[in-house]
Amino acid sequence: MTENIYIGEDSLQQLTELLQNPAFSKVAVLVDEHTLLHCYPLLKPYLPQHDLIQIQSGEEHKTLQTCELIWQRMTELNLDRWSVLVNLGGGVIGDMGGFCAAVFKRGLYFVQVPTTLLAQVDASVGGKTGIDFHGLKNHIGVYSEPRAVLINPAFLRTLPQRQIKSGYAEIIKHWLIADGDTFEEQRQVGLFHENWEELIRHSVAIKSEVVAADPLEAGYRKVLNFGHTVGHAVESYLLEKPGRELLHGEAIAVGMLCEAYLSVKKELLSQAALEKIETFLVSVYEKVKLTEDDLGFITQLALQDKKNTRSTINCTLLQGIGKAVYDQPVTLQEIHESLRYYQLL
């Protein structure tokens, strides 16, 4: 799983080597206004002759309408099945660019160059691509592996602190589901890190090992969804509330607190462990204000979670810090109760 993932300040050199393959007919680079300004200058020296495809940034643009714009531009550029699309950006660019490449003319090659911490440790690894649909997170998508993933920590210097914190949530999730010792160590350190490359490597290794064991999420890979049943519902709901939108990791931090609470209620996790998780996450992430009306609407959105079977909400919970268990049935009432717990923190 990790043989096509390159991590480090010299990772972009792999792009030059990869694109020297004479079989590749054309190269296009997908950017948004931010990555065009801040990240494209770092990437450009490693590219052969290429074209740019620019879209608007933001989760609200991760839609079929934006895909149509991308496909139209790909058509105008006469891209064929031997073309390569380089996705330069965060999770939105990676998810949507991968999806557009995977289905255009039944699939062309793509390369992920993640520029946010969230994308570097999560979205770019594992072959999931997709878009949102009618406000539902990642509702349409396919599994499609990139030709390569090039992770350069230098891109993190272009990010505001809020984006760093968003990505850090997925790193914390990986510790909670698979490495309790590192969680214990790092919760004493907090968010202040000078060596992001080391944390990225560790996090990517955890995710890659899980994905390799279950590429199509038939079972074990679902452990990666810890925090996401409630987190995606919160994210989807607030995405429709102008001025209240959350970054993905911010919503997952809410979800992890709620689902750790549910783990205690299901007698899988100790109260002491919950308090450790709660203390750490509250120290990093600001409280999201939720009204009584919000709780009801968010709870109903949990019915749309992709892990559900029929009318059963399947959640990934913690069986102690460092071990996750999947397909744990929870009720709407329990989801609502977990949100109430968060509201009263």
Q: Match 């202040």 to its residue by tokens.
A: 192
- For residue 50, indicate whether it is catalytic: no
Closest C-alpha to 250, from 214, 279, 281 = 281
**List 26, 147, 228, 235, catalytic entry:** 228
Q: How far apart are CA 58 and CA 32, in angstroms?
A: 9
Q: How far apart are CA 191 and CA 162, in angstroms?
A: 11
For 109, the enclosing helix (H) or strand (E) is strand 109-114
**List 170, 197, 235, 334, catalytic entry:** 170
- For residue 228, indicate whether it is catalytic: yes
**List 26, 62, 128, 201, catalytic entry:** 128
**DSSP character at residue 329:** E
**List 173, 174, 201, 248, catalytic entry:** 248
**List 147, 165, 232, 337, catalytic entry:** 232
Q: How many H helices and E strands in the chain?
A: 14, 10
**List 59, 145, 217, 334, catalytic entry:** 217
- For residue 187, indicate whether it is catalytic: no
**List 165, 201, 207, 222, catalytic entry:** 207
- For residue 225, indicate whether it is catalytic: yes
- For residue 207, indicate whether it is catalytic: yes
Q: Is 195 exposed, middle or buried (0-12, 13-18, 19+ CB in 10 A)?
A: exposed
- For residue 221, indicate whether it is catalytic: yes
**List 106, 157, 289, 310, catalytic entry:** 106
Query: Which residues lie across from 54 on neighbouring strands?
Result: 31
Q: Is 76 exposed, middle or buried (0-12, 13-18, 19+ CB in 10 A)?
A: exposed
- For residue 139, indicate whether it is catalytic: no
**Helix 332-343 to helix 292-301 angle, to the nearest 10 degrees?**
140
**List 225, 235, 250, 334, catalytic entry:** 225
Catalytic positions are 106, 128, 170, 207, 217, 221, 225, 228, 232, 248
